[in-house]
Chains A and B, each alone.
Chain A
């Protein structure tokens, strides 16, 4: 019975939070340590799924489902592209050089320090209120990014031109799209045309004959069949 009481004393909500948080962090470390692109993707999906679990736990069901739809589903497409564009042989492992490790460590550590500092400097988490003047926080910027100015209500409104930072935000999004297209273009495999066996044989026999045969539909059929 004492065991039951001890369990009852444990806060169920907090316990689940810790479980999901540990899963998310653990699989995130797994992404970094794995050396195979598909395993990385698997860990990334599990980590993002655990994050979605955190959102569901917080009662933010829409954001949780969004997380599943966009990030987990997006990882799926990323994975397909990763395998299609990078894999030259089965089960390629990606080795990181020592210099890259040091550089990545420095970047990650500085970012983590910044985030920790920002997270712990907030006195109390609260909802944004209209026209409220408080200590400088990130909330007004975040809300302004979607087009609502809580810090300057007069600047907003349907007729106001300067209603938040929605336009710059959208421009950045389009830039992101451009970058994605460019990345796909750069990563594209260079096409090297190898002559088919039947064409080689034909060209050895007679160049004129080969040219005539290549233009006929019958040779296209045999060439397709010989692959």
Chain B
């Protein structure tokens, strides 16, 4: 698209790249903020239904679908309080640190073949690394609030997130090993075709490792039953006890953003990314030579696919939250160290052996090795694979005199 701006519209390269970066940032910001509005409404409705209530019903018509907007306006109008003994700078900056970490991880997340903020060849690694930084804002908030509840919550969160990064990393390594790349775009592309090509169904080990990933992902974004950092029955509200108004809502935007992000990552790594369960585009005869408009439509549908899968993941997280009771801190650590980590390690070894001895699956000839691109139709001139991974970096290099 930047090439289009440079060649057809005639913008200078620096302006074209700035505009492109702005558009990408704007879109991602809207995914997070708009997503948070929808998800908070959905969470309230789901919680209500699970508890045999109605939830919001009045604001904005029949289903109360404007409730989040009303809440947002209320939060905007609230006074921005700060405790007297707090460390002012850290207290003010903490919500933005959390939000920025959540936001930055979206940069490398592909929504469809070309719909990615910045295609990185270490995309998985980048997303996991940046996602781990979100806890930093929580620790700052807990420390700077000068409140015991906040500090307790922050310390619990630090212990929990640092521990759960280990099994989470191991789970993520399995699809990376199958695909032979850390590039999220390529990983998703290799799962194209029927849903049996998804890494979830590749072998029994990946199937198990997916559920370990789900557990670790729920824990790493601090959702119940792992929400010890804000356990309201013991710590008032944990790390955000002292926050109010817009700063408080930044924490929640970060939380819902991270939920969406880990779900989208699960979709890309295990559930075929933007590829639907049925290769509709291929059945309808869209191929490399069909034309740009058809390709663009296919990409839009793919983007919808990914968002649908990620939303499904978020809804499952809500379902878990309102179904299971909160774990104690020692139970959380036991789950991580005694169950998730060994299971993930064993499944990693199992998937590796499977790749060695049964690369073609149980029935040779029906399925193909995981590292191959199974459906080659997008590998044409407009395809994602034909584009170099670091196109903007190269363009930067070209701009250089």
A-side interface residues toward B, CB under 8 Å? 4, 7-8, 10-14, 36, 38-39, 42, 45, 59, 61-62, 64-66, 68-69, 72-73, 76-77, 79-80, 83-84, 90-91
Q: How far is the CA of A68 from the CA of B132 in the complex (A)?
A: 9
B125 at interface by CB-CB < 8 Å = yes
Whether B126 pairs with A12 at a CB distance below 8 angstroms is: no
Q: A59-B390, A61-B126, A69-B125 given as contacts; is B139 within 8 A of A79 (CB)?
A: yes
Q: How far is the CA of A13 from the CA of B397 in the complex (A)?
A: 8
Which residues of A are found within 8 Å of B121, using beta-carbon distances?
A: 61-62
Which residues of A are found within 8 Å of B85, using beta-carbon distances?
A: 90-91
B130 at interface by CB-CB < 8 Å = yes
Whether A36 pairs with B87 at a CB distance below 8 angstroms is: yes
B-side interface residues toward A, CB under 8 Å? 12-15, 17, 85, 87, 89-90, 93, 120-122, 125-126, 128-130, 132-133, 135-136, 139-140, 143-144, 146, 155, 158-159, 162, 165, 390, 393, 396-397, 399-401
Majority SS at the chain A contact face: helix
Other CB < 8 Å A-B pairs besides A8-B15, A80-B139, 10 of them? Answer: A10-B14, A11-B400, A12-B13, A12-B14, A38-B87, A39-B87, A62-B125, A66-B125, A77-B158, A80-B158
Whether A61 pairs with B122 at a CB distance below 8 angstroms is: yes
Partner among A12, A13, A39 whose Cβ is within 8 Å of the Cβ of B90: A39
Q: How far is the CA of A4 from the CA of B11 in the complex (A)?
A: 11
A-B residue pairs in contact (CB < 8 Å), sample of 30: A7-B14, A8-B12, A11-B401, A12-B17, A12-B396, A13-B396, A13-B397, A38-B87, A38-B90, A42-B90, A42-B93, A45-B136, A59-B393, A61-B121, A64-B126, A65-B120, A65-B125, A65-B126, A66-B129, A68-B130, A69-B129, A69-B132, A72-B129, A72-B136, A73-B132, A77-B162, A79-B139, A90-B85, A90-B146, A91-B85
What is the CB-to-nearest-CB distance from A189 to chain B, in angstroms, rounded to a whole number? 15
Q: A7-B14, A11-B399, A45-B136 given as contacts; is B129 within 8 A of A38 (CB)?
A: no
A91 nearest CB neighbor, chain B only: B87
Q: How far is the CA of A91 from the CA of B90 in the complex (A)?
A: 11
Q: A8-B14, A72-B133, A73-B132 given as contacts; is B393 within 8 A of A65 (CB)?
A: no
What is the CB-to-nearest-CB distance from A62 to chain B, in angstroms, rounded to a whole number? 5
Whether B155 pairs with A80 at a CB distance below 8 angstroms is: yes
Q: How far is the CA of A68 from the CA of B126 in the complex (A)?
A: 8
Whether B396 pairs with A38 at a CB distance below 8 angstroms is: no
Q: A11-B399, A12-B17, A42-B93 given as contacts; is B155 within 8 A of A76 (CB)?
A: no
Which residues of B are found within 8 Å of A38, using beta-carbon distances?
A: 87, 90, 140, 143-144
Q: A4-B12, A38-B144, A76-B162 given as contacts; is B122 within 8 A of A68 (CB)?
A: no
Q: How far is the CA of A7 from the CA of B129 in the complex (A)?
A: 34
Which residues of B are found within 8 Å of A7, using beta-carbon distances?
A: 14
